Amino acid sequence: MPTWVFAKGGLKPDDAADQREQIQAGLASDPHLAIAELRAHGEELGDPELFLIGARLGRDEASSSRDADLASTAAELALIAHDIGRYLADETNYKATDWRPVTSERAAEVAAEAEAIADECVALAEEIEAERAAAAAEAERARLAELEDNNKTRKPGTGLIAGGSVALVIGASGLGMLGAGLSMGQGLQGKAEALALPAERDRLDELDRQGANANALAYAGGAVAAVGIAVGVALVVVGVKKRKAAGPSAEAGLGSQHLLVGGWLNDESAGLALQGRF
């Protein structure tokens, strides 16, 4: 169950605004630390505005630094802000509690903005990963062209082995996207299972739409991972065979060269560890 559900009662919009102002004034200058602080305070106070501020900061920083992981974190914060805002926007819920960090009208505005930011962040994460893949592919093409020009002084297969390593790194980034999508989807699934149907049918439809975004992120990551790992392993294998076929002089250093690949995948995360020497 989300931490904000257990936020302390007796909070009024004006009091929450004062606390929010103090929190913002004391935030760390590092965006990553500031986002973590906003999340912690948001969970303590159950204040959707703090989650929304963190989501905005994460989105903007991810856009400027091209950090896909930060974009995914911002999407998660936005979804929390949306859930709290939607809850408090309901007049029945609002009147039944003395926990009121924002007005009911503002809660509806927070929910709408947070939903838009969550969509932006999911799209941003996919965009950044696509840029990374394109940049890595372009760098690899340039590397292979240089290796081709210097093939007389380089051992055969070096370009293929190096290219395979780059492809494996791209595959690892895809696994990161896959893990983020799975984690978001699992959280949304838990919320859906807790709904009281058919009374909350509209909320179920909303969660289904958010789940589709999480699935899209996971599918995109899975595709990048599958292609990157498959191509990477194939290039490394072909490169090693080519070097062996070139004869003893080219193969002399092969014994000291290696590539170790290890990975994991579960319902919450995924990853790939690479270690090699060429």
The three-class DSSP label of residue 260 is: strand
Give 128: exposed, middle or buried? Use CB within 10 Å, 0-12, 13-18, 19+.
buried
Contact 129, 172 (CB under 8 A): no
Contact 143, 163 (CB under 8 A): yes
| Residues 161-194 pLDDT 10s | 777 677 677 777 777 777 777 777 777 777 877 7
| pTM of the full structure | 0.56
Contact 44, 25 (CB under 8 A): no
| Residues 131-153 pLDDT 10s | 999 999 999 889 888 887 766 55
Q: List, in order, residues 6 or more apart from 122 with CB less than 8 Å away.
A: 71, 72, 75, 213, 214, 216, 217
Label residue 66 left, alpha or beta by phi (over 0 means left) and psi (-120 to 50 means alpha). left
Task: Tell me the DSSP string of 249-267.
Answer: HHHTTGGG-EEEEEEEE-S
Q: Above 70 in pLDDT, residue 262?
A: no
Looking at per-residue pLDDT, the higher value among 183 and 119 belongs to: 119
pLDDT at 5 (0 to 100): 47
Contact 94, 107 (CB under 8 A): yes
Dist. CA 122–CA 179, nearest whole Å: 13
pLDDT at 221 (0 to 100): 73
| Residues 13-45 pLDDT 10s | 999 999 999 999 999 999 999 999 999 999 999
Q: Above 60 in pLDDT, residue 266?
A: no
Dist. CA 181–CA 221, nearest whole Å: 8
Contact 236, 246 (CB under 8 A): no
pLDDT at 152 (0 to 100): 56
Structure tokens belonging to residue 164: 């395979």
